[in-house]
Amino acid sequence: MSNSTRPRPLAVCLTTLFVVFSLTGPATSEDNNEDSNTEKAWDQAAVTKLANELEQTLREAYEQSLKAPPQQTALQQRERDAAQGVIRRARDLGVDYARKMRAGWDRGASEPYFRAVVDEVEYVWTTAGDAVPAESAKPRIDRLQRILDELRALYDAL
């Protein structure tokens, strides 16, 4: 086979690229619309407002936990004390998360911080065990759960 009949490497590469691009086609405007819809679905102001509510609720929950009456048994008392430490960490994480949202952090940057708050709040329920919350804590617990559910829906929707 002579040099003139053998395919040249550059010609093969260019032909391959042409075939690949002709099969896949250019990026469609539909792909670009999907990206812009994702950005539009993320409402920074709404998330920041919820993050501020979350911070305030966690602060109130921690303050309330410090005022909790003694428990009936030593086991319940230890569980309450342990839960107080976890509530403090959840509060600290909530404060940090809200601060980041007020600074304008987007969904991708803030999601790990939000998930850390959720994990810590869920750990509170585990740690508290048989400890009995005060009656006045129940509305805060419900409000905290509502806020977390709303934020979770915003993060999971995208």
Residues in the chain, total = 158
Q: Which of 147, 146, 154 is nearest to 42 (CA)?
A: 154
Q: Give the model's pLDDT for residue 131.
A: 63
Kindly report the backbone phi and psi dihedral angles of residue 73, in degrees, each rounded to the nearest multiple of 5, phi listed first: -120, 160
- Burial of 123 (C-beta count, 10 Å sphere; 0-12/13-18/19+): middle
How far apart are the C-alpha atoms of 113 and 110, rounded to whole Å?
5
Residues 6+ apart with CB under 8 A from 134: 64, 67, 68, 69
Q: What is the longest distance spanned by two Cα atoms in the chain?
A: 97
Q: Give the model's pLDDT for residue 158.
A: 56
| CA 24 centroid distance within chain | 35
Q: Give the model's pLDDT for residue 1.
A: 52
* Secondary structure class of 112 (helix, strand, coil): helix
Tokens representing residue 72 in the block: 């009936």
- 144, 54 in Cβ contact below 8 A? yes
Q: Give the pLDDT confidence of 39-58 residue by residue, as tens digits.
A: 447 899 999 999 999 999 99
Indicate the helix (H) or strand (E) that contains 85: helix 74-102
Instruction: Please name the residue that has the structure tokens 């002579």.
Output: 2
Q: Give the model's pLDDT for residue 34.
A: 47
Q: Give the model's pLDDT for residue 33.
A: 47
Q: Give the model's pLDDT for residue 11.
A: 43
Helix 107-128 and helix 74-102: axis angle, to 10°?
170
Low-confidence ranges of the chain (pLDDT < 70): 1-40, 129-134, 158
